[in-house]
Amino acid sequence: MKKLLLGLTAAVAFSGAATVQAQEYSRTYKPFNEAVFYDGYNDNVFDAGLEDGILRHRNSLYAKKLTAENMDWFGLETKIKVTIGALCDNYDRIGNINIALVPKGQETYDPFEVQRIEIVRFITPFMNMNSYPNEVEYKYDANLVGYLFHDMTLRDKYDLWLEFELFGIPYAANQQIAGCDSRNDVFRGSLEFTCTDEPAANNYNTVTVPIVMKKPEYKSHNLNNYSELGTDTIGTCTKTYKFTVPEKVADSQLVLVMSNHGANSKGEEYNRRLHLIYFNGEIISTFTPGGKSCEPYRYKNTQGNGIYGNSKKTDRQWAASSNWCPGDAIPVRYFELGALEAGEYEVMIRVPEAVFNEQQGDFPVSMYFQGLKEGDLPTEVEEVTTQDVGINTYQKGNDIYAVSESPITQVSIYTYDGKFVYGSHNFNRAVSLDSFEQGIYLVNFFNAEGDVMTVKAIRK
């Protein structure tokens, strides 16, 4: 499903489902191969004594220190493949690949005391290890990751550690899956990089600034509306992240990985919400996660579950509720900023309609800044038109009209600073701003196919 944002800069999201084309030249690096993960709530690290070059912080977080040779290997045409095999966790879990910036010379580190950058995220299927398929692959275009490994400003100050994080628990599988009684192993995981170009040159041209790293399931306080560490103001899903750009850059961007969680009744996993992104007080983008059909991932979900049920769902049914699919990658979103002076900046994320029923669930947010002192960052911006989204809009006076081949099922209106002021599931040709004060508003339209359009409108 597509989305158009009129009058604002749209984010480009790469979900990781892109097909890797055959290349005449390619080379691979596999830092993790069939690593076994264990009960994420158990403080006993089961494979701590293995001499395989992996530092096991917890049963759900493993790391490898990258050598200069490892980092020099990377080009700027990079693919990532993550492979997850089923063991004794039959639920959908969150996993991710990170880079940790560790003071040079240390043989270990505290993950919560160093800066870290999440580069990709995924959700496992509901898998029965005795059924086929018993593993799933996630593929990502990750060309910009090469800039991180060749950033000599980082490498002069830090050792870079590559992290594989995958949280799982075996308790349901202990009772439900044959062969899992009393077992603690939950998944096996492999990580492979493929480059289709020659190694890039190390340089001092890149400016990398970690901004925020998501917290794992056993250490909450991600974005929400009910905890002091999860929001700027209790009762609102709004969080401001401040960071410093140390040098003037000729081109730059924000890189965001974010997903919506809360599997309880009326939880945030099942409600698609408008997300607003502000940079120094100005909206730079909006997006509404989900909207895609999860049917292509049904065959990977070999354990019965409440998300898929027993029968196929239509695209329209999936579009009404799905934020992500078990067995799929979470999008990586890029927000172009252009040239910036050195100085202090802030990013604010607002999800005005988020409810967090019974104060459950959260939105794990990871974000970093990437800039070049000279030159331009490569972009892969797709031109999005009203025909792509299937919704056309126009403003006449204070009325905002929307036309769609598929019926408009929902309209919502927000002030420019993210306050929700109107919502309805009954729409007839137009929505009026006459009853609102003068100013700029964001009008959000959904159609029955899951397409979303957000338009900036002015109450005259």
Q: What is the pLDDT of residues 284-296, one digit of tens each?
A: 988 889 888 899 9
> Which of 190-194, 282-286, 306-310 shows the highest mean pLDDT?
190-194
Weakest-pLDDT range from 8-17, 190-199, 370-379, 424-433:
8-17
pLDDT, tens only, 112-155: 999 999 999 999 999 999 999 999 999 998 888 999 999 999 99
> Which of 21-30, 115-124, 258-267 shows the highest mean pLDDT?
115-124
The strands making up 391-396's β-sheet, listed across from edge to edge, are 391-396, 399-404, 430-432
Average pLDDT, integer, range 165-171: 96
What are the phi and psi torsion angles at 386 (to 5°)? -60, -30
Per-residue pLDDT at 425: 86
Distance CA 362, CA 261 (A): 5
In whole numbers, what is the pLDDT of the chain averaged over residues?
A: 88
Distances (CA, A) of 62 to 99, 167, 215, 274, 303: 11, 11, 15, 34, 27
Average pLDDT, integer, range 96-123: 96
SS3 category, 60: coil
- CB count in 10 Å sphere of residue 44: 10
Average pLDDT, integer, range 346-373: 94
What token pair was written down for 394? 């126009």
156 confidence band (pLDDT: 50, 70, 90) = very high
Q: Could you give the percent of the chain with pLDDT greater than 90?
A: 63
* Of residues 434 and 19, more confidently modeled: 434
> Residue 165: beta bridge partners?
61, 96
Distance CA 266, CA 271 (A): 8
SS3 category, 156: helix
Per-residue pLDDT at 409: 86
pLDDT at 204 over 80: yes
pLDDT, tens only, 317-357: 888 778 999 999 999 999 999 999 999 999 999 998 899 99
pLDDT at 224 over 60: yes
Per-residue pLDDT at 389: 62
Please name which of 256, 255, 254, 259 lies closest in space to residue 328, comparing C-alpha atoms. 259
* Of residues 203 and 305, more confidently modeled: 203
SS3 category, 283: strand
Specify the amino acid at residue 453.
M
Average pLDDT, integer, range 398-402: 90
Q: Do domains 3-372 and 386-459 have the same CATH topology?
A: no
- Domain boundaries along the sequence of the chain: 3-372, 386-459
- Cβ–Cβ under 8 Å, residues 341 and 185: no
Average pLDDT, integer, range 12-22: 45
pLDDT at 382 over 70: no
Per-residue pLDDT at 7: 40
- CB count in 10 Å sphere of residue 380: 11
Tell me if the domain spanning 386-459 has CATH number 3.40.50.720. no
218 confidence band (pLDDT: 50, 70, 90) = low
- Cβ–Cβ under 8 Å, residues 371 and 255: no
Q: In angstroms, how far is CA 75 from the centroid of its own chain? A: 23
Per-residue pLDDT at 1: 40
Distance linking the first and last C-alpha atoms of the chain = 32
Q: Could you give the percent of the chain with pLDDT greater than 70?
A: 92
448 confidence band (pLDDT: 50, 70, 90) = confident
Tell me the CATH class for 3-372.
mainly beta
Per-residue pLDDT at 428: 83
- CB count in 10 Å sphere of residue 265: 9
CA atoms within 13 A on the CB side of 140: 27
- Cβ–Cβ under 8 Å, residues 214 and 201: no
Distance CA 171, CA 182 (A): 9
Residues found in the chain: 460
pLDDT at 17 over 50: no
